[in-house]
Amino acid sequence: MSGNMLLEMVRKPLVVAIALIVVLLFLGEALSPGFASVQQILRLLIVAALLGIVAAGQNLVILGGREGIDLSVGGVVSLSAIVAGNLMSGMDSGIPLAILACVATGAFFGLLNGLGVTLLRIPPLVMTLGMLGVLQGLLVVIRQGIPSGRAAPALSEFVTRPFLLGLPGIIWLWIAIGLVMAFILHRTVFGHRIYAIGSNEQAAYMAGVPVKRVRIALFMLSGIFAAIAGICLLGYSGSSFANVGEQYMLPSIIAVVFGGTPLAGGKGGYTGTMAGAVLLVILQSILTTVNIDESGRQMVFGATLLVLMLFYGRGRAMRA
Amino acid sequence: MAAEATLIPRKTSGLKRLFERFPFLPALVILVVLFALNGFYQPRSIGLVGITGLLKTYMPLMLLAVAQTYVVYAGDIDLSVGAIVSLVNVTIIVLMQQWGGEALPVLGAMAVGIGVGLACGIINGIVVAAFRLQAIVATFATSIFFTGLALYVLPVAGAPAPAAFWRTYGGRFAEIPFVFYVVVVLAVLLYLLARTRLATQLLAVGDDAQGAFQSGLPVTAIRMKGYALCGLFAALAAFCVTGDTASGDPLVGGKMTLSAVAAVVLGGSALSGGFGTVVGSVIGALIIGLISSLVYFMGTPSEWQNLVQGLAILLALMAGILVGRRARA
């Protein structure tokens, strides 16, 4: 009985992720003293928040099922960072306009993805892969005409300096996003509709769920979250540089999977994804503190990801 | 789907039957149009020299798209193909440097390269089919691992290939450019592979894995063989990359992965598996090549080229899927 309960616990992705985070923190502290200091953990959380915000949108698209995936998030993050940098050009007064423009940009590309996936029934992987190519091209065009842009001081402060109870604003923002996501997914009609179309689209349609509209909204939200992450990334690095967002494309998907949302959609949630994002960032951070060269680091990282995946929702074995 | 078609005999139009036999027809039409447009803007581009150059540059992508197709047949995907290309590229470069640039050592290095590609494919197969991990994330993880290995073999780009290697790839035999021999060998190889049981089995698994399993097919082994075949063709792609760039680069293949996926889709194969052709993927790779050369020949300002190219590929992807569905419906 208690063995069964233990097994159940171990099967819970959130429990696994949190346990691994704790283990990795101890491991990091053992490998290089000071790794688990408050300062370091805060820095890790800031980096995790950037990934986690992108993963929020990715999470929604994946939850909606029908092989939902958004490969264009990296492009939107890069585009948003450069648009924000130029609208601010180092001045606080530019922040409201920058946020507005970036969110609108993210929503626009999300809308295009959503329309392609629903009205034209293009598979999400193909649609967002094509959109990624368009965004990368657009970045080249924008880069020729204008300087790289600078973050407003207030934005940099928001991302890197303590704001309330010693935590920077971006971490509060991430917590707020986590709460809002949990509320939307579990307490609103929209949230229930997401799970409904994710687990059985046909049944959801029969039950009167506006399947297409919900799915378009998911892709728009993914674009918006990626845009917000782009703004924060600008605040983190001070200025935007080429293709900063690309590093978020596949890791955002891995964070979702580590958080217990299978790529098939229909079940899971964002709390796990947040833990998944922290887990990924800690893992990468440990590997940079250990004294091995880049090749060894990548090999260990790849192998560790594979081992961790064994804990999460493996496919069912074939039965006759 | 198939059962339905046999239960209700329908009068199928000639065009539909043609499409069922040759699912890559829409891609072929796009290819011909692009070819004509290239010729219109730059007549020399469709001459012998132009075509040789196109084949030389895009042979790696053609082979990589073929590699990807075999896993897509079974409804899987391999996001590590680019990393395998990089790993094989640096492996043969380093071996050729150590063993010397004569014919025998070069062939020996290539044999090792084939082995490395095959091994990478088998690792992917074990991870995805035997461990039952989700293909997208699992092959992304293996791609990180393979990239690490490539960086270990050759930490920085730039080691040159022996002259014999790239002179052969870029050269001529009996007045005919070497790449045309590659095309012929590839065509024979693809023809033979299409006639094997494995190709049919992969498509059966992709169409309905449960049904394939219930009718006695060893689904796990078949999917693993698909990944192994994919690794093998990725190694061949790496040879052509090495012949084209004449140097080693531990990151050379990274950007090719998503282009290979796009080429497969452009060629009319379904990412959900069970439907597709390798010929289509070859055409898809050429479409990507012709789009980028067309954008250049049209005199598009250099900073706009990537955007126009991205838009054209997106439109081609969408058009291909829409036309394909209509023709099949």
Contact A83, A102 (CB under 8 A): yes
B318 touches chain A (CB under 8 A): yes
What pLDDT is recorded for position B43? 83
Q: How far apart are CA B204 and CA B225, in angstroms?
A: 14
Closest-CA residue in chain B for A300? B145
CA proximity to B167, closest of B287, B19, B56, B4: B56
Residues of B in contact with A248 (CB under 8 A): none
For residue A109, the enclosing domain spans 37-309
Q: Does A70 reside within a domain?
A: yes
Q: What is the CA angle A252-A255-A261, rounded to 5? A: 110
Structure-block tokens of residue B70: 């075999």
CB A274 within 8 A of CB A178: yes
User: What is the C-alpha to C-alpha distance for residues A205 and B236, in angstroms, rounded to an integer?
Assistant: 47
> Chain B closest CA to A51's CA: distance in Å?
16
pLDDT at A55: 95
Using the Cβ of B258 and the Cβ atoms of chain A, whether some distance falls under 8 Å is answered with yes
B300 at interface of A, judged by CB pairs closer than 8 A: no
Distance (Å, rounded) from C-alpha B269 to C-alpha B278?
8
Give the bridge partners for B173, in sequence order. Answer: B176
Looking at chain A, the whole-number percentage of residues with pLDDT higher than 90 is 35
Which pTM value belongs to this model? Answer: 0.88
Q: Could you give the 3-state DSSP secondary structure of residue B137? A: helix
A318–B219 CB contact, under 8 Å: yes
| Residues of B with Cβ-Cβ distance to A131 under 8 angstroms | 314
Distance, CA of B141 to CA of A305 (rounded, Å): 6
- Decide if A319 is inside a domain: no
DSSP 8-state class, residue B159: P
CB contact under 8 A, A302 and B309: no
Pick B258's closest partner by Cβ from A129, A134, A263.
Answer: A129
Nearest CA to B132 out of A319, A153, A226 is that of A319
Residue of A nearest to B305 (CA): A137
Domain chopping of chain B, boundaries: 23-328
Quote the tokens at residue B194. Answer: 């299409």
- B221 and chain A: CB distance < 8 Å anywhere? no
pLDDT band at residue A2 using 50, 70 and 90 as cut-offs: low
Q: pLDDT digits over A137-160, tens only?
A: 898 888 876 666 787 888 887 888
CATH number of the domain to which A135 belongs: 1.10.3470
**pLDDT at residue number B159:** 85
pLDDT value of position B329: 60
Type and span of the H or E element at A168: strand A167-168
**Shortest CA distance from B148: residue in chain A:** A295
Q: How many domains does chain A have?
A: 1
Of the two residues A316 and B236, the one the predictor is more confident about is: B236
pLDDT value of position A6: 58
- Residue A8 in any domain: the answer is no
Whether A295 sits inside 8 A of B209 (CB atoms) is no
Find the residue in A nearest to B126 (Cα).
A306
Which of the residues in chain B have pLDDT under 50?
1-9
Is residue B135 within 8 A of residue B78, CB to CB? The reply is yes
Query: What pLDDT is recorded for position B2?
Result: 43
Strands (E), chain B: 172-173, 176-177
Q: What is residue A266's predicted lDDT score, i.e. its pLDDT? A: 84
| pLDDT given at position B5 | 42
Contact call for residues A142 and A79 (beta carbons, < 8 A): yes
Q: What is the pLDDT of residue A10?
A: 55
pLDDT classification of A208: cutoffs 50, 70, 90: confident
Average pLDDT, chain A: 86
Identity of the residue numbered A271: T
A31 band by pLDDT with thresholds 50, 70 and 90: confident
Instruction: List the single residue in B137, B147, B149 with the smallest CB-CB distance to A257.
Output: B137
- Condensed to tens digits (0 to 9), the pLDDT of residues B72-89 reads 999 999 999 999 999 999
Segment A248-272 shows an average pLDDT of 88
What number is the average pLDDT over the span A17-42?
85
CATH class held by domain B23-328: mainly alpha
Inform me whether the C-beta atom of residue B218 falls under 8 Å from chain A C-beta atoms: no
Task: Please name the member of B141, B151, B310 whose beta carbon is closest to the beta carbon of A137.
Answer: B310
The interface pTM score, or ipTM, of the predicted complex is 0.85
Residue A169's contacts (CB-CB under 8 Å, 6 or more residues apart) are A157, A158, A159, A163
